[in-house]
Amino acid sequence: MKLILTRHGETEENIKKLYQGWLPGTLTKRGKDQAKLLAKRLKDVEIDVIYTSDLKRCLETAKEIAKFHKNAKFVKEKLLREMNHGIYNGVSTKLKYWEELEGGRFDTRAKNAESLRDFWKRIQTFYKKIIKKHINQTVLIMTHGGSTCFVQGMIYSKPIEEAVKIEKLKNTAITEFEIKKDGKYKTLCKNCEKHLNE
């Protein structure tokens, strides 16, 4: 499998440093431009399937890519959503809310939220599904910052404790892998945003 992992364009919430979680998110003008530049970069790459989070910020970014890939299957995937912070969606990221709740960093669950471990298991479910289904295809995954860490964690076979330390992809940056049936992988590029500088 050739796997192209990327993240939505910049949002108003990114600029304000808010937990976006399951909020739709609003692309800034810069974010919309980033999406167009990413699409232009990928226009000549053969893509069999595009998996995108069903949240607006990802959908809008992924649709720019899909304009150049009319034959690619386009799948809206709820499993690819960012972590749900519940009542803390839309709150400043300066507030490390899990420090005030019981359960520790990985198992704390705020009201109407999921824990980091819940989030990890959700991304794991998605990854196991696609790795079996598309092993001989080129797959693009359009998702969120936290989700990019955990998808990479799956590829690197890291436990959650190490996966949370993996660098998030920047807005519309690409990390690309070749993945074999036995799980061995080759990294072709990492957090690359050269399309934004051309």
Cite the active site residues. Answer: 8, 144
Separation CA 22–CA 151 (nearest Å): 18
The two three-digit tokens of residue 30, written as one number: 């810069």
Per the listing, tokens 């399937």 go with: 49
CB 61 within 8 Å of CB 38: yes
Per the listing, tokens 């990221």 go with: 93
- DSSP three-state, residue 92: strand
For residue 51, give the DSSP letter: E
Question: 74: which strand partners?
Answer: 50
